[in-house]
Amino acid sequence: MDIDVIVVGGGPAGLTAAAYLRRFHRSCLVLDAGDSRARRIPESNNCPGFPHGVSGTELLRRMREQARAVDAAFESAVVDGLALVDGGFEVRAGGRRWRARKVILATGLSDRLPGDDWIEAAVGCGALRLCSICDAYEASDLAIGVYGPSEGLGGHALFLRGYSASVHALPTDDGDGGEDGDASRGAGVQWLQGGGRLAFDGQRCSYAPPGGEAVAFDTVYAYLGSDTSAGIAAAAGAGLTPEGEIIVDADQQTRLPGLYAIGDVVSGLNQISVAVGHAAIAATHAHNALPFVPRGGDGAGAR
């Protein structure tokens, strides 16, 4: 028998969708590769309901427990294909196949990181950060570095200048950032010579401009872009924006009826609260679009 809904991805978006679907008495299988961005959050302080912060691993543990408590099913899998079959979907991972009436893609994105072996440790202690909307408040009045290609770096640096008087732009190339760079310099951001070396001493990151002395920072924000996981959706026929995000309507549905996309794989604002909101919308729409199943006195109808 077909599963009502397969959710691909077990981060905050996918786990929330699974909990909603089971609470609608729909059968639901989560296929997850197990590498949520949220795993890298040392402590989130903007996650609703956690006034004293929560680590990403603890948040994921709780969300998974909540989905498991209503019997959501899970399998480890890297989904590599999706096709419309008989009005539903076939989902593929290697040699394995599943059939579902609806599919929710919650596969997130991958941050591009400076390719050094200390990255995990530096992110883990907050010396290197990836999301100023998430945690710039905690970096207020610290010595902040902003690392990445000069194009776009001025805008990020200016945003962070709202949190600290000490902000240095650390470009990975020779550019000056154009108008955004000028605006940031006008607001007091110091631009160091580009193309230098970022290092980590176990506690803090530092940046050495070519031929110059290393400057240490309390925290460095890296803006090196990200890689989308939208390829599966595109191959199945869903439309993508020029930036590679899956195009969805107000119900989080792609242009393929019954295929939804939620969380970072679609969102411009990559935040847990946004991912969770997408999940509620998609799961509720999918439930209402599935055939109605009256509940029997013996619990029949519940799946």
CA distance 209 to 145: 13
Smallest distance from ligand FAD to CB 287, Å: 19
Smallest distance from ligand FAD to CB 9, Å: 3
Evaluated on CA atoms 126, 34, 262, 60, the torsion sign reads negative
**What single-letter DSSP state applies at residue 44?**
B
For residues 273-282, one letter each, b for 16 or more C-beta atoms within 10 angstroms of the residue's C-beta and e for the rest, the string is ebbbbbbbbb
C-beta of 173 vs 227, nearer to ligand FAD: 227
C-beta of 191 vs 217, nearer to ligand FAD: 217
Burial of 234 (C-beta count, 10 Å sphere; 0-12/13-18/19+)? middle
Evaluated on CA atoms 199, 205, 208, 213, the torsion sign reads negative
C-beta of 180 vs 264, nearer to ligand FAD: 264
C-beta of 188 vs 203, nearer to ligand FAD: 203
Smallest distance from ligand FAD to CB 77, Å: 6
Smallest distance from ligand FAD to CB 126, Å: 9
C-beta of 80 vs 179, nearer to ligand FAD: 80
Smallest distance from ligand FAD to CB 185, Å: 28
C-beta of 27 vs 229, nearer to ligand FAD: 229
Best CA proximity match to 119, nearest among 220, 11, 214, 216: 220
Smallest distance from ligand FAD to CB 216, Å: 20
Torsions phi, psi of 89, nearest 5? -135, 145
The conformational region for residue 165 under phi > 0 = left, psi -120 to 50 = alpha, else beta, is: alpha
C-beta of 191 vs 283, nearer to ligand FAD: 283
Q: Which two tokens stand for residue 67?
A: 């989905």
Strands (DSSP E) contained in 65-217 are 73-76, 81-85, 88-93, 96-105, 109-111, 128-129, 144-148, 167-171, 190-191, 197-200, 205-208, 215-217
Smallest distance from ligand FAD to CB 267, Å: 7
CB 53 within 8 A of CB 44: yes
Q: Which two tokens stand for residue 231?
A: 């390829």
Interacting residues toward ligand FAD by CB under 6 A: 8-14, 31-38, 40-41, 44, 46-47, 77-79, 106-108, 111, 123, 130-131, 134-135, 229, 232, 263-264, 270-273, 275
